[in-house]
Amino acid sequence: MTRIVLHEVGPRDGLQMEKQVVPTDTKEAWIRRLMAVGVDIVQVGSFVHPEKVPQMADTDELFRRLTADKTSAAVLSGLVLNEKGLERGLACGVEMFCLGASASETHSRKNTGMGSHEATQRIVAAAKQAVTAGRKVQVSVQSAFGCGFDGPVPEHRVLDMVRAYLDAGLKSISLADTAGHADPAQVERLFGAVFALDPTVECTCHFHNTYGVGMANIFAAMRVGVTSFETSFAGLGGCPFTKVAAGNVATEDFVHVLHRQGQRLDVDLDLLISIARDVAAHFGRDMQGYVHRTGPIAAKELA
């Protein structure tokens, strides 16, 4: 059985839409607990302008704190959208750079101030610099399955961006459903087309649950060979620059399903649930995830 890779993006994608800025000490405590859960990668934050995304203003400081005395095996990732962000990430100890450009022209301009083609070229150049610096690198196609502004995104645009990444020697590639428009058939078709370009590509998927099909899309991706998944504790999330922002598939929900299938039993589901409950208490509202509210199906019930 192929090992599933879990990339927790809650500290970045989960918090970037929140109006209530989370204190740095609180974020650090949540991230340290996430690092102890047993997930493979934790996305600490993004290197964006603090006026545009105030929640990410302390990303550099968080990386400095978390890497200073690190003993966890979890890789610490950070999102970068331009060269300046790469410089900041290299300076503060980012272990894995996630660099992305959008296949939607409107979303690209709202998110980066550039069109898709220019953004892709700059991301490729920055990714090569990160590789040269000896860091892990993942590149992504945002709005790969549709856009709240532009509607359907032609699949050839997505595949052209994937080709640009592959031509640059970048083989860890994520397709992100930024607007939550994906459906399972589309997911299987598009990831299948990516694997047809290069069967050795390391594919990751990132699904927002805007219309309630995020988990179904995850398993559609799994059916065609995707093994790496980005999810968010408590189902938090949403891009500030998309039309209808909604959360990600909840990490604890996904891990709960994996446990029922006998996969990733090394991940501490109880700790994940406790983090989600603490996050819900911090914000004082119900979160989008399910299992932190219902509780998991007990092992004895599965026997």
The residues annotated with a catalytic role in the active site are 239
Distance separating alpha carbons of residues 164 and 119, to the nearest angstrom: 12
Instruction: Classify the C-alpha dihedral 271-277-278-279 as positive or negative.
Output: positive
Distance separating alpha carbons of residues 97 and 86, to the nearest angstrom: 8
Query: Nearest CA to 201 among 209, 210, 192?
Result: 192
What is the residue type of 293? R
In the numeric block, the tokens 């993942």 are attached to: 138
Question: Pairing between strand 75-80 and 41-46?
Answer: parallel
Query: CA dist 141 to 100, 274, 285, 300, Å?
Result: 6, 32, 32, 42
Assess contact for 144 and 181: CB atoms under 8 A.
no
What 3-state DSSP class applies to 14?
helix
Dihedral of the alpha carbons of 36, 62, 206, 40, in degrees to the nearest 10: -30
Query: Nearest CA to 138 among 239, 5, 49?
Result: 5
Rg of the Cα trace of the chain? 18
